[in-house]
Amino acid sequence: MILNLHNDLLEYICYYLDIKSLIYFIAIQRSNIKNILDNKFFKNYAIKLYGDEFWLKAKQRPPDKSKPLSNYYLEIIRIEKFQAKLYEMEFNRWKNTDFYKYWESEKQPTSPTKKQKKH
């Protein structure tokens, strides 16, 4: 029934769903909705979730560290899986600042472990 709506209206409605509802909706309507919600939609949705600054900083990370995926939908899913894992371990969801701190820590040289030290 909902798919009888015009594509622009469907996209508008999806934009205002929370991430869990959007993922559920996509799973239910998989074959019908995948042509409506393209990478442009998910880029806008990703910016709505995390902001421009987040994605600019994410793009600046070295590819060997960030392992970029092919589209924004997959990037959002990866982040949400990570957030769900934090929840399972009884940690709070990460805010943007938590990601930034982690990304900064990746830049710091690690101190050698006992095995690596040679005297």
d(CA 11, CA 9): 5
Give pLDDT tens digits for 70-101.
Answer: 999 999 999 999 999 999 999 999 999 999 99
Domain boundaries, the chain: 1-37, 38-108
Write the CB contacts of 111 (distance below 8 Å, at least 6 apart in sequence).
none
Give pLDDT tens digits for 15-48.
Answer: 999 999 999 988 888 767 877 899 999 999 999 9
3-state helix, strand, coil in the chain (%, to 5): 65, 0, 35
**pTM of the predicted structure, to 2 decimals:** 0.83
Burial zone of 76 (CB within 10 Å; 0-12 exposed, 13-18 middle, 19+ buried): buried
User: Measured between alpha carbons, how far is residue 90 from residues 86, 93, 113 in Å?
Assistant: 6, 9, 29
